[in-house]
Amino acid sequence: MIFHALYLLYKVPPELSKSQLSSPYLSNYMTAMTLASASAVAFCCVNMAHATLSECIHNGIMRETAIMRFGQSQSTWRPCKANALGFANKMRVLRCCMGLRRAYLVCPILLVLLVGASLTALLPPAEDQRGFGVLGVLRRATSQKEDPAQGRHGDSTEDEQRFTIIIQTYNRTDILLKLLNHYQAVPHLQKIIIVWNNIGEQTPLKLWNSLGPHPVPVLFKEQTINQMRNRLQPFPEIETDAVLMLDDDTLVSVPDISFAFSVWKQFPDQIVGFVPRKHVSTPGGVYSYGSFELQDPETGGGDKYSMVLVGAAFFHRRYLQLFQDQPPAVHALVDETQNCDDIAMNFAVALYLRKHSTGSVNKPSGVFVKPVDLRNLEKDARSGYQGMWHRPEHLLQRSFCLNRLTQIYGFMPLCFSNLMVSQFGFPSYANHKSRGTIMDFGQSEFSIHGPV
């Protein structure tokens, strides 16, 4: 029973917290805990009964020995009477021990079985497939996963269970050190690659190393020119399939990262991230860039997104080479605007998925994961450098990129989706906006979900 309990506990994925467990895992967990409790109580009861039995037998033997010694000291004592008394004492000891064993064993075991049956009755069905939230996502079989470049994954390897963080930074060294310290606590993280766009300036590697030993190695990649698309290079130091790309002013909580990584393993051919956006078309065929709004699907009609920005997202490392293989006009557009590399990546992924689609429905380029704690640390930077989204021409540039990329590829490949994966179910809903069209996810505690 104990070994069966340990086996069931082993089946619970270590990267999933209790709030993220799907019904089969929860059933195994509760069953294992019940079996373990029953085994522990039964073991204690057996030990108590054994100790009591030993004590009773010992007391009976001592009494019989004392009587025999007393009989030997008295000339009138007969051996047959001593034997009769000894037999009677043995029977009395056995009756006493049998009663104690029943009292110590039967009642606790019945109580444990009753509690276990009650807990099992409260569990939801293991094969409940209602909804499209994370419970449905995590129930999917993980034995075979789709490979963005080669169709199907084989057996799981160590690299498939870990990931690499890429952070491109410019003029935010103080925030960078804070981020590096924060991400050291992320499980399954193999290494952190810093794309150093401060041309001519020394990296803070010595300062970072002087702060003490760190469990996750940090690698600085010095660049010769300050370009936005420097971060989308297929660095040879990347040894994991999964890449988590983060902006240098964005702090994502450790539970959010772990949860998003578990979701990415279910959607390895898509961009899985925390910041969705959409394109809006006009009757004249012109596209504009818009934000995704969290809405109640019953009262607000819901909303859809067509992009997941790579500034806070997981994707397969082969998509870095995929971006390098895009037409030169795409790279020229990104260099000209110093913007839109994330939009161009969504175009490239959407085109790839369309080309390798096996069904009649095209997949969207990304999957939106609702963050619980995502913060913008820009105001904490001593340099005072502000991101591009503060510029008045930012949204115009993004809309221009949408139309220019559509011209380069000849059509609009982006597909809409309203799927949102959340850690904590799907409670109430609301729109949460901060400045302009930038959504303040750090303050939002609402979520929506739906089919792709």
Give the catalytic positions in this structure.
342
Q: How far apart are CA 395 and CA 290, in angstroms?
A: 8
How far is the C-alpha of 11 from the C-alpha of 347, rounded, in Å? Answer: 38
Contact (CB, 8 A) for 263 and 134: yes
Listed residue (242, 208, 395, 261) closest to 319, CA to CA? 242
Report the candidate in 242, 253, 243, 245 with the shortest Cα–Cα distance to residue 169: 245
Alpha helices in 123-225 (DSSP H): 134-138, 173-183, 205-210
HSE toward the beta carbon, residue 111, CA cutoff 13 A: 10
Q: 366 in helix, strand or coil?
A: strand
Take residue 212 and report the two structure tokens written for it.
Answer: 């003490």
Could you give the 3-state DSSP secondary structure of residue 147?
Answer: strand
Angle between helices 328-337 and 341-355 (to 10 degrees): 160
**Distances in whole angstroms, Cα of residue 120 to Cα of each of 8, 12, 41:** 14, 17, 19
What are the CA-CA distances from residue 230 to residues 106, 209, 343 (Å)? Answer: 70, 25, 15
- Could you report how far apart the first and last alpha carbons of the chain are, in Å? 43
Contact of 193 with 165, CB cutoff 8 Å: yes
